[in-house]
Amino acid sequence: MKCAKTPLKGWKELPEGGTITEPGSSVLFDASAWRTSMPIIDHAKCTKCGMCWIFCPEAAIKVNPDGSYEVEYMYCKGCGICEKACAVKAIKMEEEKK
């Protein structure tokens, strides 16, 4: 579940105040770099209701062709909203292992 190393910039390289210095600059940054915990989906418990997908503020949860849900860790900031949104507790936040 660990993110692959990328040449993208981490949070320490953000401009002061998170200022956007040029349009579209977000593609240069690894948004997952400041995550301290990561959501893990237990597919045996998941009912495929889609609530995590609806509530994720980063659109970091994707739907697979078979209807299952998956976290795209490259875009996940570890906020834990998906864990709270899941009524059957199929998502558990675990300490980041990066």
> Which parts of this chain interact with ligand SF4 (CB under 6 A)?
39, 41, 46-52, 56, 58, 60-61, 69, 71, 76-82, 85-86, 88, 90-91
Query: Of 33 and 78, which has the nearer Cβ to ligand SF4?
Result: 78
Q: In this structure, what token pair is assigned to residue 84?
A: 């709270």
CB of 80 to ligand SF4, least distance (A): 5
The residues, any chain, with a CB within 8 Å of residue 95's CB and separated by 6 or more, are: 36, 37, 38
CB of 45 to ligand SF4, least distance (A): 7
Q: In this structure, what token pair is assigned to residue 16?
A: 């002061």
Does residue 55 contact residue 82 with C-beta atoms inside 8 Å? yes
